[in-house]
Amino acid sequence: MLSYTDIGVRRVAGPAEAQSFRRFEVMTGRNMFNVVAAWTWEMKVGSESYRQIHRGLESHDNWVRSRPTVILGDFNMNGSFAGTRWPDPSLPI
């Protein structure tokens, strides 16, 4: 992530950080928020296909909830997002 402003961006990397769920902390003045750069893809195990963001949210639950968080990227939106733990992403918030 690159910024041409006075906004500070720091990558948060942990052990075995997934390529599909990259974490950053953004500082602007006295405000701080999290950013996730996300990408999902098909997996050899069909039940895990396009679930990388779900796995990232489960793995980094405390970090995501620690401050406002923006998740952006290529979600490859499809039926595998259906579940019972989160609201239907196709419905307006």
**pLDDT tens, 34-60?**
999 988 877 787 777 777 888 888 889
Asked if pLDDT for residue 72 goes beyond 60, the answer is yes
Mean pLDDT, residues 54-79 taken together: 87
Return mean pLDDT, the chain.
Answer: 80
Q: How far apart are CA 34 and CA 75, in angstroms?
A: 18
Mean pLDDT, residues 79-83 taken together: 56
Asked if pLDDT for residue 90 goes beyond 70, the answer is no
pLDDT top residue among 18 and 80:
18
Single out the residue of 93, 34, 27 nearest to residue 63, CA to CA.
34
